[in-house]
Amino acid sequence: MPARGGPPRSLSKPRPLARWNRYYNVVDDSPVDLERLRQFDQLEQPTILRWADGLAFRVIPGEQLSRAVYVSGTYEPSTLCLLRELLEPGDVFLDAGAHVGLVSLAASRWVARRGKVYSLEPSEREFRRLLETIELSDVRNVVPVRAAVSSTSGQGFLRVAGDADSGLNTLGTRFAYEGVEVASVEQVETTTLDDFIEAHGLHRVAGVKLDVEGAEAAALAGAERLLGELRPALIVEILSSALGANGSTADEIFDALERADYRVYAVDDATAQPVPLEALASVDGQNVLALPRERAAPRLRT
């Protein structure tokens, strides 16, 4: 991966990058960004992006996620900065809504050989790409699982977005954003987090990422034992439009976390430092950190 001056050269060694989400749509007029955008727009065939830490990702021309990663050189760096502080060698991490596996890849480096990452992704198309991402990076401690996380275990119907919007697949009645067309509807396996840890014999889980396009409240409803006994750190996406399509709200998530005796933190956009929250109304469209109240918030390295 070419040097960019700001974003990290290794996916697993992130640095904060303010307003990273802009790379999904627009970029600043910096020469580096504009040149990387020009290169991406000229791609006619998929290409392999390789980071200095040995991790790799297949970039797809015209795909929104690929554009953001290719131009910025990283993926959700604030989330990665937090997770790097929360995970240690030997830990177990659950990546619910793994998509093509970028968070799973970085986590695989932090939990190291003695640890394990379980990557849950329901979509057939994205699951194939998850398998490819794992193979390209030659990671041996990531376990791919084709399943959606929900409040019950069984079957569900997943609305699958077109190729360009592959990160928006949802169990909800509609997509989070207007104008996104349904490419297909897939019948998928669903699992609760409690059933998952039982089926896999997990007696310790250090962290969980919940990015399940509006099913976050449902996922927490199926995680009573996980939250009550194993007490992992949580990274939870808060997007009101996606939650509404699943019949829930950010307040429902906040209340569920409070009942489980968790403290919720916003993530400072410029520094990735956790900031205590008393409500979720101010963080729409962002990830939040949730920690058991008995656990101190991490202080990120600079």
Given pLDDT bands bounded at 50, 70 and 90, which one contains residue 160? very high
Given pLDDT bands bounded at 50, 70 and 90, which one contains residue 27? low
Given pLDDT bands bounded at 50, 70 and 90, which one contains residue 148? very high
pLDDT, residue 8, reads 45
Rounded CA gap, 43 and 58, in Å? Answer: 12
Summarised one tens digit per residue, pLDDT across range 230-254 is 999 999 999 999 999 999 999 999 9
More confident of the two residues 1 and 170: 170
Arithmetic mean of pLDDT, 199-224? 97
Are the C-beta atoms of residues 37 and 73 closer than 8 Å to each other?
Answer: no
Identify the CA nearest to 267 among candidates 97, 99, 104, 86. Answer: 86
CATH 3.40.50.150 describes domain 80-292: yes
pLDDT, residue 299, reads 79
Arithmetic mean of pLDDT, 3-10? 52
Identify the CA nearest to 138 among candidates 53, 70, 81, 73. Answer: 53
Given pLDDT bands bounded at 50, 70 and 90, which one contains residue 164? confident
> Which residues make beta-bridge pairs with 166?
none
Residue 284 corresponds to which tokens in the numbers above?
């729409």
The answer to pTM > 0.85 is yes
Rounded CA gap, 158 and 173, in Å? Answer: 9
Measured CA angle at 172 (ends 164, 284), to 5 deg: 75
pLDDT, residue 167, reads 83
- Give me the phi and psi of 298, to 5 degrees please: -70, 150
Are the C-beta atoms of residues 93 and 206 closer than 8 Å to each other?
Answer: yes
Instruction: Work out the number of other CB atoms within 10 angstroms of the CB of residue 152.
Output: 13
Token pair 């430092």 in the structure block, residue: 273
52 has pLDDT over 90: yes
Summarised one tens digit per residue, pLDDT across range 174-186 is 988 888 889 999 9
Summarised one tens digit per residue, pLDDT across range 258-267 is 999 999 999 9
Arithmetic mean of pLDDT, 149-163? 95
Given pLDDT bands bounded at 50, 70 and 90, which one contains residue 156? very high
